[in-house]
């Protein structure tokens, strides 16, 4: 006897915008000749002393509201709210009464806060604020070129090839908007030929990070 196999293809947390509809689908693998008699979805907020609460079932028991389960077993939650974040568990019951469960985590898609720029640091907090941040670096309001420096793979750090002078701005953005911070160094000194003197420096680090003071 083989039970139904239930899994989520993406094991990473799912981020949802407030007010957006959430659809959770699990992959179901049934043994030959077997069929599903019931699909149940439960939600646990993830807070201390929180309980797992049933939010939907198929066949439906007529609970109504913002949550429903379609004939494929997918959970449909309308107008996602902060309190809808947490762990969702799907439990599938087959014709023999066997049950199999799987879990997924749903989080609110957050805006970024407290953008800051630090220079000459070797360590920084990795606690990011905001979801899916994208980093853009500017020098004197113009995009940084390779001649001036290179960015780390995630864009949060700028490794300077030239002098630390003028104004460096980091712009951090996601679906909910953008924010920026500017580091002001000494004015750039130019040689008679019109080019700056290239003196390498430690990286400038930018991000939606907890506890980094704005400069």
CATH number of 115-208: 2.60.40
Residues with Cβ within 8 Å of residue 132, at least 6 apart in sequence: 15, 109, 174, 175
Q: pTM (2 decimals)?
A: 0.71
Band the pLDDT of 181: cuts 50, 70, 90.
Answer: confident
Q: Do domains 5-108 and 115-208 have the same CATH topology?
A: yes
Please spell the DSSP secondary structure of 170-211, one letter per residue: EEEEETTEEEEEEEE-SPPPB-TTS-B-----PPEEEEEBTT
Query: Over 90: is that where the pLDDT of 86 sits?
Result: yes
- Give per-residue pLDDT as tens, 90-102: 999 988 888 999 9
> What's the confidence (pLDDT) of residue 96?
86
- Give per-residue pLDDT as tens, 32-70: 778 899 999 999 987 666 788 999 999 986 656 899 999
The residue among 194 and 97 whose pLDDT is bigger is: 97
- The CATH homologous superfamily for domain 5-108 is Immunoglobulins (2.60.40.10)
Residue boundaries of the structural domains of the chain: 5-108, 115-208
> What's the confidence (pLDDT) of residue 146?
86
Would you report the helix, strand and coil content of the chain in percent, each value rounded to 5?
Answer: 0, 45, 55
Query: Over 80: is that where the pLDDT of 213 sits?
Result: no
């Amino acid at each position: 006897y083989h039970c139904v196999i239930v899994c989520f293809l993406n094991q990473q947390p799912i981020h949802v915008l407030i007010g957006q509809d959430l659809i959770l689908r699990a992959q179901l693998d049934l043994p030959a000749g077997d069929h599903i008699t019931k699909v149940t979805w439960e939600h646990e907020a993830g807070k201390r002393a929180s309980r797992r609460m049933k939010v939907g079932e198929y066949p439906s028991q007529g609970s109504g509201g913002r949550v429903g389960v379609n004939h494929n077993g997918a959970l449909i939650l309308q107008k996602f709210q902060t309190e809808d974040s947490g762990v969702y568990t799907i439990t599938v019951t087959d014709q023999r009464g066997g049950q199999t469960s799987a879990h997924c985590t749903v989080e609110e898609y957050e805006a970024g806060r407290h953008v800051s720029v630090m220079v000459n640091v070797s360590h920084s907090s990795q606690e990011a604020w905001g979801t899916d941040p994208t980093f853009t670096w500017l020098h004197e309001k113009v995009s940084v070129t390779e001649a001036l420096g290179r960015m780390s793979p995630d864009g949060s750090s700028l490794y300077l090839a030239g002098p630390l002078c003028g104004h460096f701005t980091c712009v951090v953005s996601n679906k909910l908007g953008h924010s920026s911070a500017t580091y002001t160094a000494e004015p750039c000194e130019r040689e008679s030929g019109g080019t700056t003197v290239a003196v390498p420096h430690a990286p400038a680090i930018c991000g939606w990070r907890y506890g980094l003071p704005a400069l």
